[in-house]
Structure 1
Amino acid sequence: MRMTTRFIASLLAVLAVVAVALSPLIGGLISRWFQRDIEIRSGLVFHTLEAPLAERLGRHDADGIRTLFDDVDRDERVAGVGWCDARNVLVHRSRRMPDGFSCRFAPATTGEPVFRSETSFGRQLLVGAFPLAGGRLVIVHDIGYITDRSASAQGYLVMSLIVLAALISMVTVLVARLTLRDWLRTVRDSFAQPVASAAKPSSADLAPLVDEIRQRLRALDGVRRSVDDFRLNWAPETLAAILDRELPDSEVIVVSNREPYIHNLVDGRIDLQIPASGLVSALEPVIRACSGTWIAHGSGSADNLSVDAHDHIAVPPDAPAYTLRRVWLSEAEQDGYYYGLANEGLWPLCHIAFVRPVFRDGDWQQYVAVNRKFADAVIAEARTPRPIVLVQDYHFALLPRMVRERLPEATIVTFWHIPWPNAESFSICPWRGEILRGLLGSSILGFHTQFHCNNFLSAVDRFLESRIDQEEATVTHGGETTLVRHYPISIEWPPQAIRSLPPAAVCRAQVQERLGIGADVRLGVGVERFDYTKGILDRFLAVEALLVNHPEWVGRFSFLQIAAPTRNRLPVYQQLRAEAEALAERINARYGRPNWRPIVLLAEHHSPVEVFRLFRAADVCVVSSLHDGMNLVAKEFVAARDDERGVLV
């Protein structure tokens, strides 16, 4: 007890000395801060008045000068404003200028502003003099409040130190007693047990508890973020506002192979087409809300007729919101980069559809060259050294590193829209190291699911020398860190395409009339690209199985398959289309009737409005991908319905 008393007394004495020593220092420091603040305010007032006051002095406009001074006088801390001429006579003054104030109180200037403290007229004043029009502008501030605030601050300091001393005393005594008790218990245990098995201090036992608390806090923070996101009303305007607030003056550049708008020549006229693409469906509303530039391959037959001299076109055509920059590719570049490495190599490599990937050195060279061409386009379009570059999909695995080398301050966000294979499967790619290094040029690398993220981190761990933080999901390679995250992609809500659509009953009647389907026939629909990963053949076989096992549905159910042509140069896609058409023809020949077909196959592009019309008209929508990243057809079907009906399979 005596030791505790001595400790507390010594601590209080030391803190008392510190308080006495610091009190004048704190008071003087606060006074200087406030005075400096007033000097800056005076300078701002001077710069505001300089031009209009000089003009009014030149015209001898006394009333105008009085009006200017009175406007400044409204500030409660401004005691007065005046102007002294070269004879040191106070020619003009504001109404609140202290009676008896003359230019002798104002310090003389030598071309620079001068300030002087005065205790006059029963007040503490700070007088600032600024050279102006052959005389000097005098701005007087009342600084009496500084003394009061300085005294208050010194009082708060003393009280804070007293409270701090009490807290330190209590905590120190408590910790000392607990430590002593733990030490004594350890000593007692050491006497009763062998040295090798002596009890450890309790502080070591707290480590698991600390880890558990951290995990709970991380989980709680995740829940809090989810709740915040749920409460936030996400809309294009919300996204634009957040981007403007968090990243003011930001420049957004999107890079993708597929363009959001395609111009084709049809019967001698230019026809606008919106491609059937989940990437376009997900990204186009974002770039429309944030404006910016979308760089894409100009693949349409009339694309080059629709751009300006810089290969630009403002889109959407009806209400331009951003710029589409088209990049032109030769036949050889398309064959090697797009049809070759991207779709004969990377696409089957990443999808478990049992199509063997093909890797050719010539395709790789074209892939590198095209990625370089698009990187050049990004550099050409960037107006600032720190743009936000959104790189899309497996066509541009090398582009993030190429852009990073030339725009080191850019924020590069890459999203891989298809699955990422496990490290064992990825190992068959001859250029796996180059692809991984290219993607790690990104600031953020996104995938659809955590499983895909884990596969990517596993591939990096196996094939690159890098540092991986599994807890934070970051990869550090070559001195740069990439954040790897999963972002399940979604669609615009509400979809723009449904705004002009009639109710579901009307859409159904329109579709039945166009396709020649009876009113008593149930309609199923599938909307895909003609791709072997989408399970189109399996879908047709399922319809055949339905008719075999349930013949009562013959004549009462039709399945409409929209299959947009894609990658027609590749033999595997040509074979798929031929098999699908032959299978549909066989099923129709076996079960069809003069006025009814079980399968209606339309191998053509449909606009978003037409697709959503079909969704509203259908009784059932089938999504049967063999392997996919994040299929948006399922979400679009649900979003299209306005009657809370329809079945999604």
Structure 2
Amino acid sequence: MRILSLRLIIALILGVTLVSLASSWSDVQDDKEALRRDLQYKAETFGESLASNAELYLASGDTGKLEQLVRRFSNRDHLLGIGIYDHDGSTLVMTRELGSLLSGAPEALSSALSHDRPETRFTRLRFRRVYLLAAPLHAPDKSIIGGIVIVYETGYIRTEIFRVWGRVFIRIAGQVLVIVAITLLIVRWSVAGPIARAAQWMKTLRTGRQVVQPPSKDLDFLLPLAREMAPLAESMQRARAAAEIEARLRNTNESLWTAQRLAEHVRSKLDGSSLFVVSNREPYVHNWQGNTITVTVPASGLVTAIEPILCACNGTWVAQGSGSADAETVDNHDRLQVPPDDPKYTLRRVWLSAAEEEGYYYGFANEGLWPLCHMAHTRPTFRASDWEFYNAVNERFADALVEEMAGERDPVVLIQDYHFALLPRMIKDRIPHARVAIFWHIPWPNPESFSICPWQRELLDGLLGADLIGFHVQAHCNNFLSTVDRVLEARVDWEHFSVKRNDHWSSVLPFPISVELTEDSSGLPLDHSFEEERSAIIGELGIDATFLGVGVDRVDYTKGIIERFQAVESFLERHPRYQGKFTFIQIGAPTRSNIPRYAEFQREVESEATRINDRFKRGKWRPIVFLNRQHSHKEVRRYYRAAHVCMVTSLHDGMNLVAKEYVAARSDDRGVLILSRFTGAARELRDALIVNPYDIQGTGQAIARALEMDVTEIVDRMRRMRKMVKEHNIYWWAASLIGELCELRLKR
């Protein structure tokens, strides 16, 4: 209670002081300005009178009368001195005290003579605060024949302000003493006593002893709280039991998937087995920042989906250690417990050399498999050395996984993406009883395109080591099965979408990945907050615009960014009324810049944006704003909320979660999504405006349709898309994938 009283007193002292100072500051400043204005007026009035006489004497060359004039007026209040100068700045007459402060003509006089106008300023002369007025003197023909300087001391203003502040502080001290005294009395009589009696009563309730409730007048305002304390423990137990029952029941109906429901579902499916997740990117990255280590969570839907499962079953995540301080945070076995604030599962880090990362990740995975699978008119590059590194790194991860799974009865392994096509076979050969799934996050091309790869047989055989192979959409599953059918000696069961090779069955099924949709919790009126967001962004970017479009992508040649810019250009050509009104904001995160094709594409995007802007821009309006840096989820969400139109125009994509992120962010049911037909998302978000990104004019027409669409239609479309994303969210994806894997019958 003493600490509470002390905090309350300190808070009151600070509050009263700050409020009083804030309210007094304006008054003090007004007093200061009033004193300054008074001095300026007095100096200007005096200067005009003195100058008219000085001009007569100076024109006649009567220096003696000038000296008499200066002496006669030199004894005014706060006047430091008067100086009269020739037209070239030479001193003619000057009072003694001013002469000790000025060694020559002041700068203000030079400025006054050169501009033929009076100059005034508050300044310092030899550490003395002064107000200086300098004015030209004219002959009857208006020519400048000299100048006059009048200097007033301003120290009295500072002294007067100090007196005012002194009175303010005395007043504040009095207010603080009175308020603190009253507060202490109130705390002692009305708070401390009732709290002490209530605390004693709660203690007896907690220990289970019978006690008579104090009278209501004793507990005063704490009575409602006191009445709830007795049944609190029992209520919490009942609530906990009900929550566990509800979580189990939710797995049997169509209620929405949440992190809690996902954890409960997977825990029951695993039935005591351990889960092992493999990905190139790790869920937590440790970096040095100065002399301290900071931890960050990469922006990834995968972390959102998988982490609740690993937390629920105390699983293990195997990933490449990429942070500058990663090695300092692991134990002797390259493990650490995460999340950092509440450890619940194991992160196992695998270390790669710079050469291995260059060959495995940048080389084979991203210069070979990435363009091969996306068919975006960039020639894949396959090098034997990159293939060797790809094999070696997959082996490295297999070694780490086998080490982590030692002694496990029925381990479950979930491998992520095209970086580990060989890993399923390596795991299955070493631990045949493990359940292995791999999810391929990018498209799978047709057999003719995939045949470009010199090691197609090895990649397919590696993937078919998995019990379950997942893609985003059925079309990619079909392409994969067709490729296997053409390349390998294997039995393809098209009815059940599975492949039998070397007496092992692999199921090939679609699992469209998604995002988490949470309702807006800002508490602000939706229309109001979204409009404010838009205005704030326009102000920050320094542009004039009425309508905003947004695109969010890595600067990758598969994303159709240049075609998108050209569609904006076509739109503005065909609909000139939107020139000066519509601005498209492209958020482009730099990526893989050490790969020549990516560095070249970065320059192409910047050049195209500049060309279109140079063609159309006027005043503060620009048709395209290219923000070429990394943005956090929070920053990107602001642009989603502000944009009238979101353009996702990938030339080829597995899913493209930007489309679903935009839908998830629009809790106001506004905004129009323009979506490429070549994305996986186009199969689900059918209320988007579906376009062919290669059709520049057609995509431009879609922008016009989006901006001119009736509000009712916009709301209807967005609500249907939000319902789809809400019901088939990221947790639903993870539950479907792992649930299907755990249901598969494995040959023992």
Q: Does 2:372 align with 1:349?
A: yes
Aligned partner of residue 568 in structure 1, secondary structure: coil
**What residue identity is the alignment partner of 1:524?**
G
Contact 1:444-1:483 at 8 Å conserved across structures: yes
Residues 478/234 of structure 1: CA separation in 2 closer, same or farther (3 Å cut): same
The equivalent of 1:491 in structure 2 is: 515
The 3-state SS of whatever aligns with 2:621 is: coil
Q: Relative to 1, partners in 2 of residues 1:378 and 1:504: Cα closer, same or farther, differing over 3 Å?
A: farther
- Aligned-partner residue type, residue 421 of structure 1: P
The 3-state SS of whatever aligns with 1:648 is strand
**SS in structure 2 opposite 1:606?**
coil
Match of 1:453 among 477, 481, 500: 477
Which residue pairs with 1:644 in the alignment? 669
Per the TM alignment, residue 630 of structure 1 is displaced from its structure 2 partner at its CA by: 0.8
Q: Does 1:465 align with 2:489?
A: yes
Deviations 1:89-129 (A, max 9, x none): xxxxxxxxxxxxxxxxxxxxxxxxxxxxxxxxxxxxxxxxx
> What is the TM-score of this pair, normalised by structure 1?
0.60
Provide closer, same or farther for how the CA distance between residues 261 and 514 of structure 1 changes in structure 2, counting only shifts above 3 A.
farther
Supply the distance in 2 between the matched residues of 1:444 and 1:257 (Cα, whole angstroms): 19
Contact 1:236 1:289 (8 Å CA) reproduced:
no
One-letter amino acid matched to 2:254: R
What does residue range 454-603 of structure 1 map to in structure 2 within 5 Å? Answer: 454-494=478-518, 503-518=529-544, 521-603=546-628
Opposite residue 655 of structure 2, the aligned amino acid is M
Return the letter of the residue paired with 1:619.
H
How far residue 450 of structure 1 moved from its aligned partner, in angstroms, is 1.4
Residue 348 of structure 2 aligns to a residue whose secondary structure is strand
Please point out which of 252, 264, 269 is paired with 1:241.
264
Question: Which residue does the alignment assign to 2:316?
Answer: 293
CA contact (8 A) 2:490 2:501 kept: yes
Instruction: Confirm or deny that 1:259 pairs with 2:282.
Output: yes
**Separation (CA, whole Å) in 2 of partners of 1:509 and 1:267:** 37
Matched, 1:431 2:460: no
Residue in structure 1 matched with residue 431 of structure 2 by the alignment? 407
Q: Deviations over 1:209-253 (max 9, x none)?
A: xxxxxxxxxxxxxxxxxx998724322222211222232222121
Q: CA deviation at 1:350?
A: 0.8
What does the per-residue CA deviation read over 1:481-529, in whole Å, with 9 as the maximum and x for residues that have no partner?
111111111122338xx667964344334433433345x5321111111
Corresponding residue number in structure 1 for 2:466: 442
Q: Which runs of 5+ in 2 are unaligned?
A: 1-249, 675-748
Alpha-carbon distance in structure 2 between the residues aligned to 1:473 and 1:523: 44
How far 1:540 moved relative to its partner?
1.3
SS in 2 for 1:231: coil
Determine helix, strand or coil for the equivalent of 1:562. strand
How far has the Cα of 1:548 moved from its partner?
Answer: 2.4
Determine the structure 1 residue equivalent to 2:211.
none
What residue is the counterpart of 2:15 in the other structure? none
Partners of 1:346 and 1:230 in 2: how far apart? 40
* Contact 2:337–2:346 (CA under 8 A) maintained in structure 1: yes
Q: In structure 1, the residue corresponding to 2:553 is in which secondary structure?
A: strand
Aligned counterpart for 1:626 among listed residues 634, 648, 651: 651
Correspondence list, 1:14-25, <5 A: none
CA pair 366-487 structure 1, distance change in 2 beyond 3 A: same
1:375 aligned residue (393, 398, 413): 398
Q: Which amino acid aligns with 1:450?
A: Q
Whether the aligned pair in 1 keeps the contact of 2:646 and 2:662 (CA below 8 Å) is yes
Deviation at 1:345, TM superposition (A): 1.0
Contact 1:534-1:626 at 8 Å conserved across structures: yes
CA contact (8 A) 2:251 2:265 kept: no
- Note closer, same or farther for the CA distance 1:460–1:488 as it changes in structure 2 (3 Å cut): same
Change (3 A) 1:480 1:434: same
2:385 to 362, 367, 374: 362
Letter in 1 for 2:640: F
Query: How far apart, CA to CA, are the structure 2 residues paired with 1:604 and 1:452?
Result: 32
Q: Which residue of 1 aligns with 2:346?
A: 323
SS at match of 2:669: coil
- Residues 532 and 546 (structure 1), Cα distance of their counterparts in 2 relative to 1, 3 Å cut: same
CA offset digits 1:8-59 (Å, max 9, x no partner): xxxxxxxxxxxxxxxxxxxxxxxxxxxxxxxxxxxxxxxxxxxxxxxxxxxx
Q: Is the 8 A contact 1:528 1:562 kept in 2?
A: yes
Q: Deviations over 1:184-214 (max 9, x none)?
A: xxxxxxxxxxxxxxxxxxxxxxxxxxxxxxx
Which residues in structure 2 correspond to 1:260-275 (within 5 Å)? 260-265=283-288, 270=293, 272-275=295-298
Q: Are the equivalent residues in 2 in contact too, given 1:588–1:599 (CA < 8 A)?
A: yes
- Of the structure 1 ranges 281-290 and 628-637, higher mean CA displacement relative to structure 2 is found in 281-290
Tell me if structure 1 keeps the 8 A contact 2:514–2:660.
yes
DSSP 3-state at the match of 1:546: helix
8 Å Cα contact 2:262/2:308 also seen in 1: no
Letter in 2 for 1:508: R
Give structure 1 stretches of 5+ with no counterpart.
1-226
Deviates most, 376-385 or 604-613: 376-385
Structure 1 residues 592 and 309, CA gap change in structure 2 (3 angstroms): farther
AA of the residue aligned to 1:410: A
User: How much does 1:274 deviate?
Assistant: 4.3
In structure 1, the residue corresponding to 2:648 is in which secondary structure?
coil
Range that drifts further, 499-508 or 257-266: 499-508
For residues 63-101 of structure 1, the C-alpha deviation after alignment (integer angstroms, 9 at most, x for no partner) is: xxxxxxxxxxxxxxxxxxxxxxxxxxxxxxxxxxxxxxx
The amino acid that maps onto 2:385 is G
- How far, CA to CA, are the matches of 1:612 and 1:290 in structure 2? 32
- Other-structure match for 2:630: 605
**Counterpart-to-counterpart distance in 1, 2:372 and 2:509:** 21
CA 1:327–1:505: 2 relative to 1, 3 Å = farther
Equivalent-residue separation in structure 2 for 1:514 and 1:316 (angstroms)? 35
TM-score (normalised: structure 2): 0.53
**Alpha-carbon separation, structure 1, partners of 2:253 and 2:438:** 25
Contact residue 275 and residue 607 of structure 1 kept, 8 A: no
- For 2:489, what is the secondary structure of its paired residue? coil
Distance in 2 between residues matched to 1:319 and 1:598, nearest whole Å? 47
Identity of paired residues, percent? 56
- Paired with 2:312 and 2:618, the residues of 1 have a C-alpha distance of 49
Q: What pairs up with 1:89-104 in 2 under 5 angstroms? A: none
Contact preservation (8 Å) 2:263, 2:308: no
Q: Give the counterpart letter for 1:648 in structure 2.
A: L
Task: Report the residue type matching 2:402 in the other structure.
Answer: I
1:361 Cα offset (Å): 0.7
| Contact preservation (8 Å) 1:473, 1:485 | yes
Change (3 A) 1:604 1:362: same
Q: Which whole-Å CA distance do the structure 2 matches of 1:449 and 1:230 have between them?
A: 24
What's the RMSD between the two structures over aligned residues? Answer: 2.6
Question: Does the C-alpha gap of structure 1 residues 295 and 507 become closer, same or farther in structure 2, counting only changes over 3 Å?
Answer: farther
Whichever residue aligns with residue 491 of structure 2, its letter is R
- The AA in structure 1 aligned to 2:440 is W
Which piece of structure 1 moves more, 430-439 or 274-283?
Answer: 274-283
1:276, CA displacement in angstroms?
A: 4.8
